[in-house]
Chains A and B, each alone.
Chain A
Amino acid sequence: EDKIVLRLSSPMSETDQRAIALTEQFGPGVSSFATFEPHWNATLFKQNTELEAIARGNLEMSVTSAQELAQFFPEWSIFTAGYVLQDADHQVAVFNDAVMDPFKQKVEEELGVKLLAPMYLGRRHVNLRQSRDEVDVRTPADLAGINLRMPGTDAWQFLGKALGANPTPMAFTEVYTALQTGAVDGQDNPLPTVVDAKFYEVTKQIALTSHLVDWNFIALSKAVWEDLSPEQQQAVQSAADAAAKAEREAQLKKEADLRGFLEQKGLAIYEPDLDSFRSHVQKAYLESDFANDWPAGVLERINELGH
């Protein structure tokens, strides 16, 4: 009989840890009844249009982000806020806790998208072209006047402002040249991105602000899910969990390993006064419109699940 085809579209490249884990763990995990057909580099659907493609029945799978979900459901901005999630384990705990259920349910009902498992993207840090002699980042005040490239959505821009910097939206493909020429002073991404996008060639320091422990979700069409037998559903869920776990471990290891690599490339890597950043950013969020969209009690529950 014909197998189901599970097409996944995502902007990540096939060498990304998430792509590797999905190819090596998810694909084989469902191969008895489904063909996993990934399309990397956004070749099938453009970045941030995959959810509506799934909703319209044009795609089966994607790797979505809290930022993308917040474009549909503003309350998701709580998972894009700085210093809310603490680490990879905290992400898993939050995802599996009942506090996530209403969030997931709404996505299933209104978009027809089922979120299977959380993937770990890494800790985002501030990566600057200036040397530490020129800019030494201890507190948010030290980022005053720094043009920090951040993705062009208001959630990202707000986070940049909350960090004390001047957030600058710019296409990712232009960031390298802009760092080289000084059109921007810095960018924020996890260490693996700093390496993959070669930003270390044109920057001199990384302040380990860990301002966002970023995550993604393996997303599957609800309609496809409901057509599966209970055993098949079980297999899909296990395969997604296995991929997420493998990815998390690989990404954590990569993050740890890359610190040495980047230091060897001559970058100064150091930890600023995290308490000062945390309180500054959290205060900014609580005073903002974003917090109005957050359901009562969710932030408290997330904090309880941390340490």
Chain B
Amino acid sequence: MNRAIRWIRTLAEVVSASMLAAMFLTFLLQIFSRYVLQEPFGWTLELCLALWIWIVFFGCAFIVRDREHVSFDILYLAAPARLRKVMALISAAVVAIALLWSLLPTWDWIDFLRIKKSATLKVPMRTLYSIYALFLIVVAARAIWSFIHTLRHGAPDHELELLSEDKS
């Protein structure tokens, strides 16, 4: 189980890094084609935007750690352990329920967009946006896992986690 997770994480990191590298190179190509070749490629902008969407949602699903998200953890960190556990449980449960609740209606909309092609690359919008459905599923699954983990082992302590991570 742990080995599978580690393997998925490594693969996800390779994919994310490649998408970011591709966006960087596409941007340079865009400048090069316009300024040096004097023959601008029309497709570069849309490719960058598509990569941007994938970097955000693929990244948030697979490689962004929970504590790396922007959050107000003032009250959370100040709370005693038991209250903190309750907060973490509510948070994980609400996120999991809400995202799963939105999954089918959202997929219905994304699926509808198979009839619309992106303006330059002519890719069906369903393909471009499908990453958002995967994002909903994976984030909900992570929230469920975090709920179970908190129930068993207590609330994660962000500051301690941070310290142990830095030392390793």
Contact = CB atoms under 8 A, between A and B. Distances in A.
Chains A and B share a contact (CB less than 8 Å): yes
Contact-residue bracket for chain A: 20 to 34
Given A147-B40, A154-B119, 14 more contacts: A48-B119, A52-B109, A52-B113, A71-B119, A72-B117, A147-B38, A153-B119, A153-B120, A154-B42, A166-B38, A166-B40, A169-B45, A169-B46, A170-B45
Interface of A: 48, 52, 55-56, 67, 71-72, 110, 145, 147, 152-155, 157, 166-171, 183-184
Nearest to A182: B35
- Nearest 8 interchain pairs by C-beta: A153-B119, A157-B42, A168-B40, A169-B45, A152-B45, A154-B120, A71-B116, A72-B116
Contact of B109 (A56, A153, A169, A184): A56
Interface residues of B, number: 18
B34 interface: yes
Contacts of A147: 34, 38, 40
Contact of A145 (B38, B44, B115, B116): B38
Contacts of B116: 52, 71-72
Interface of B: 34, 38-40, 42, 44-46, 109, 112-113, 115-120, 122
A110 B114 CA distance: 12
Name which of B44, B116, B118 has the most chain A CB atoms within 10 A of its CB. B116
Given A52-B112, A72-B116, A169-B45, A154 B122 contact: yes
Dominant SS among interface residues on chain A: mixed
A72 B119 contact: no
Contacts of A71: 116-119
B117 A169 contact: no
Contacts of A171: 45
A155 B119 CA distance: 8
A183 B31 CA distance: 9
Contacts of B112: 52, 55-56
A166 B39 contact: yes
Contacts of A67: 119
Given A152-B45, A152-B46, A154-B42, A168 B34 contact: yes
